[in-house]
Amino acid sequence: MSETSRDLLRLAGAVLQPGFEGTLPPTWVRRWLGEGLGGVALFGRNFASPAQVADLTAALRAERPDVIVAVDEEAGDVTRFETWQGSSRPGNLALGAVDDVALTEAVARDLGHDLATAGITLDYAPDADVNNNPDNPVIGVRAFGADPELVARHTAAWITGLQSAGVAACAKHFPGHGDTSVDSHVDVPRIAATRAELDGCELPPFRAAIAAGVQAIMTGHLLVPAIDPERPATLSRIVLTDLLRDELGFDGAVITDGIEMKAIATRYGLEGAAVLALAAGVDAICVGGDHADEATATRLRDAIVAAVAAGELPEERLAEAAKRVEQLAAWTAQARAAAVPDRLDGIPVGLAGARRAVRVTGAASALPLAAAPHVVEFEPPRNFAIGPETPWGVAVPLAARLPGTTAARLSAAEAAGDFHTAAAGRPLVLVVRDVHRYEWMGRAVATALAARPDAIVVEMGVPASVVGATHVATYGATRANGEAAAEVLAGR
């Protein structure tokens, strides 16, 4: 192999951030790191405990000291670091409901210290989307809210807090995934806003992120005709170079959302999407949520090299992308050395934030509960970002406070079942997630309330619909949100 070919392979490897299976790096990842792989992406399957993750990242750095170790950790319903127990922090919508930027910064810094201790250097967060469509199937509680100014100030605070702990932040999903009813894991969302509307709603949080010094921005697989009517943002030079680089002035690393997501992979293929993304201005390709194997990484690397050879991807553009990845790695090394050592050990800032977010509407006099209740949790389909393994709900923490609490979890197929017998003579608690989005859930809750108007409704999603005589909104379904709701129900 010629020196030129080896250089191209090294550059192509430098711009990849693949995932892998297991709680220790497989042989192929170790080998690739020695050959120039720029980073890796960790997913829930890679986490067993903080100590185990620290061992994993140490093994990665034994092969390449400056490797970027990334994770999709939003400290909310989307959690990888605490995937098997649920996040100990309240999530973005809860923080937006409190609207205390000092709290948001403190929660993000607290998370940053945990990630840094485990050897993670890049977090694919915060979610900077403005969730101005309550029917959004994939953002929802992941956003700080529906008001652009609120989202902007909390995005900036979150970035400041995380990066002060030595972990690079990555604002997503540019240019804004909030105003859509389509999940980009499944199909291409279309943002129908005019350019003026984008300037007033979707773009302010990203402007705030750039002003706050965010080190990376993640693209959204979104078609935004007001900017580029032909290609999704991830593959659009107009969006990523003309708008993000030239107009907004961002000079950090641009990273794709999962390149295997159907919004772009179905039409362009993994290899085609990766090449087009790099040509458009992307600096790093995230892959491995679904395709976590060496064969996929090889396909992408070889496709990038072939595109350079064919003149489809300028070598200068590939070299520029690899340079930005290198600069991001250098920033993380410097930031870890200068991290703010002011973590408040022993003070659960996440639970404190979740407590402040809880809102009770209606008959607050019905709380606390007079006896151990029967809890019915309605389980909606999980979106791909949250994943199926992360626990949620109120029943478990409530049972710890009120022994004798019983519970049932019902899906759409089971929601019409008779759960009133179990609640006879006892308080009834109905726990929902985004009840406004699911007709079956709304019907089941209405039927239950007709029979038991004293039932308490706990909404752990977006509280777009307030039902029941007593309504408790948590603004998220993390472990911390569940514990805060249980405290309100049982009396703290």
Q: What is the pLDDT along the chain (492 residues), one digit of tens a residue?
A: 565 678 899 999 999 999 999 999 999 999 999 999 999 999 999 999 999 999 999 999 999 999 999 999 999 999 999 998 999 999 999 999 999 999 999 999 999 999 999 999 999 999 999 999 988 888 999 999 999 999 999 999 999 999 999 999 999 999 999 888 766 666 678 899 999 999 999 999 999 999 999 999 999 999 999 999 999 999 999 999 999 999 999 999 999 999 998 878 889 999 999 999 999 999 999 998 888 899 999 999 999 999 999 999 999 999 999 999 999 999 999 988 877 665 555 558 999 999 999 999 998 889 999 999 999 999 998 877 887 789 999 999 999 999 999 999 998 877 665 666 767 889 999 999 999 999 999 999 999 999 999 999 999 999 999 999 999 999 999 999 999 999 999 997
From 303, 338, 373, the end of a domain falls on 338
User: What is the span of the domain harbouring residue 451?
Assistant: 358-490
CA distance 19 to 29: 9
Residue 300 shares a structural domain with residue 377 = no
Give the count of alpha carbons within 13 A of 91, CB side only: 31
Would 346 be classed as within a structural domain? Answer: no
User: For the domain that residue 401 is a member of, what is the CATH number?
Assistant: 3.40.50
Q: Give the containing element (helix H, strand E) for 174.
A: strand 168-174
Residue 324 shares a structural domain with residue 373 = no
Residue 326 shares a structural domain with residue 457 = no
Single-letter amino acid code for the residue at 134: P
Would 345 be classed as within a structural domain? Answer: no
Would 226 be classed as within a structural domain? Answer: yes
Looking at residue 182, its pLDDT comes to 65
List active site positions.
185, 257
Would 350 be classed as within a structural domain? Answer: no
CA distance 225 to 336: 40
From 338, 372, 401, the end of a domain falls on 338
Q: What are phi and psi of 373, to 5 degrees?
A: -95, 175
Looking at residue 425, its pLDDT comes to 86
477, 454, 435: which is closest to 369 by C-alpha? Answer: 454
Residue 239 shares a structural domain with residue 363 = no
Residue 87 shares a structural domain with residue 229 = yes
Looking at residue 184, its pLDDT comes to 62
Looking at residue 423, its pLDDT comes to 73
Would 344 be classed as within a structural domain? Answer: no
User: Residues 476, 480, 483, 489: what is their CA dihedral angle, to the nearest 10 degrees?
Assistant: -40
Please answer whether residues 248 and 214 qualify as being in contact, where contact means their C-beta atoms are separated by less than 8 angstroms: no
Cα 102 to Cα 159, 170, 205, 385: the distances in Å are 12, 20, 17, 27
- Label residue 218 left, alpha or beta by phi (over 0 means left) and psi (-120 to 50 means alpha): beta
* Tokens linked to 389: 């393994």
Would 188 be classed as within a structural domain? Answer: yes
Residue 471 shares a structural domain with residue 362 = yes
Residue 151 shares a structural domain with residue 240 = yes
User: For the domain that residue 219 is a member of, what is the CATH number?
Assistant: 3.20.20.300
Taken in order 271, 276, 277, 282, the sign of the CA dihedral is: positive
Looking at residue 6, its pLDDT comes to 83
Residue whose pair of structure tokens reads 């703290």 in the numeric block: 492
Q: Specify the number of domains making up the chain.
A: 2
Residue 242 shares a structural domain with residue 362 = no
Q: What are phi and psi of 86, to 5 degrees?
A: 90, 150
Cα 111 to Cα 105, 131, 192, 254: the distances in Å are 10, 23, 35, 22
Looking at residue 78, its pLDDT comes to 96
Looking at residue 341, its pLDDT comes to 63
* Tokens linked to 16: 């990849």
Residue 49 shares a structural domain with residue 180 = yes
Non-local CB neighbours of 287 within 8 Å, separated by 6+ positions: 16, 17, 18, 19, 41, 258, 259, 260, 270, 274, 296, 297, 300
Q: Is 79 helix (H, G, I), strand (E, B) or coil?
A: coil
Residue 362 shares a structural domain with residue 332 = no
Residue 322 shares a structural domain with residue 362 = no
Would 351 be classed as within a structural domain? Answer: no
From 338, 370, 398, the end of a domain falls on 338
Residue 412 shares a structural domain with residue 310 = no
Would 347 be classed as within a structural domain? Answer: no
pTM for this prediction = 0.95
